[in-house]
Amino acid sequence: MTHQEFLDQVDAYALGALEPTEARVLEQHLAGEGPHPLCEAALARARETVATLAADLRPVSPPPRVWEGIASAIARGQEPASRAPELPSTPAPAREAVRALRPIPPWTYSIAAAAVVILVLGGINVRDARRSAAQASAAAAECAKDLAEARIDVLRKDDALQLLQEPGTQLVSLKPSPPGPGPSAPGTGVVLFNPRGRALFVGKSFQAQATRDYELWIIRDGRPIAAGLLPPGPDGRVFSEVRPDVLTGGRPAAFAVSVEPKGGERDAPKGPIILTGAVAAP
């Protein structure tokens, strides 16, 4: 790599926008026979600019357990190494040290809190059986509902993650249609599309309507094909598997969401199209 080639790519390097193999070429250039005053100056300038981009953030104090984890890892013998290689482009051993110190996930606290609630309600039960029985029952029902919803949520997320990891899956962002001023779409969404015949719609901020349904459409060869209704959950989120039979006739050009009378339309959208997104060419 020449100095000029380094200078051409140093901004992307400092930004972390190079692929790992490209980044390694730049690192090898700097580590090679020097000196590289121009290259180093350009890198310093680019890094300072990148660092400045964080100035827009309000600083946030990390919880004490973060420092405690660092101190603990160091106490286990991770001494400073003065001749370590340049910054890694792959995960470094420090991650292994930290993994054991991983902070307790927030949901653990929720479960603990639910357990405390149940225990507290149990205590009240001893003192006032009649009142607490109703409270305990309501709390248990609420907990069961929350847990069921959480479990469904996890399953849906797992489903989406699995699809995302399949080769060829692409993310199609659906944007309000038409763009620009005018009534905004009631929700936003994305389709995880795999050309081997699977697609999943994930949306948020959809409001259930008594007389209307949201309907997903595939646009192929200039024609709309009904791909299923999109029923929102109580929190306005939508996870909906696209009907596999409509994915078998070739690659869609786009996905769209319309608002239709209850039950949806079969042949073509008659209500307003609120979201559209083009499928990228393979």
In the region spanning residues 186 to 245, those forming contacts with another protein, defined by CB under 8 A, are 188-190, 192, 202-204, 237
Structure tokens at 264: 């949806």
Among 3, 28, 38, 94, binds another protein (CB under 8 A): 94
Is 119 a binder of another protein (CB under 8 A)? Answer: no
Is 41 a binder of another protein (CB under 8 A)? Answer: yes
Query: Min. distance of Cβ 141 from another protein in angstroms?
Result: 23
Among 4, 28, 49, 137, binds another protein (CB under 8 A): 49
CA–CA gap between residue 140 and residue 126 (Å, rounded): 17
The nearer residue to another protein, 80 or 222, going by C-beta atoms, is: 80
Query: Min. distance of Cβ 235 from another protein in angstroms?
Result: 10
Size of the site for another protein (CB under 8 A): 86
CA–CA gap between residue 230 and residue 232 (Å, rounded): 6
Is 149 a binder of another protein (CB under 8 A)? Answer: no
CA–CA gap between residue 144 and residue 146 (Å, rounded): 5
User: Computed from CA positions of residues 137, 156, 205, 273, in that sequence, does the dihedral angle turn out positive or negative?
Assistant: negative
Coil/strand/helix, residue 66: helix
Pick the closest to residue 200 from 250, 251, 255, 138 (CA basis). Answer: 255
Coil/strand/helix, residue 73: helix
Query: Min. distance of Cβ 202 from another protein in angstroms?
Result: 5
Segment contacting another protein by CB under 8 A, of 17-25, 114-122, 128-136, 215-223: 17-25
CA–CA gap between residue 196 and residue 248 (Å, rounded): 8
77: β partners: none
Among 2, 61, 184, 211, binds another protein (CB under 8 A): 61
Is 141 a binder of another protein (CB under 8 A)? Answer: no
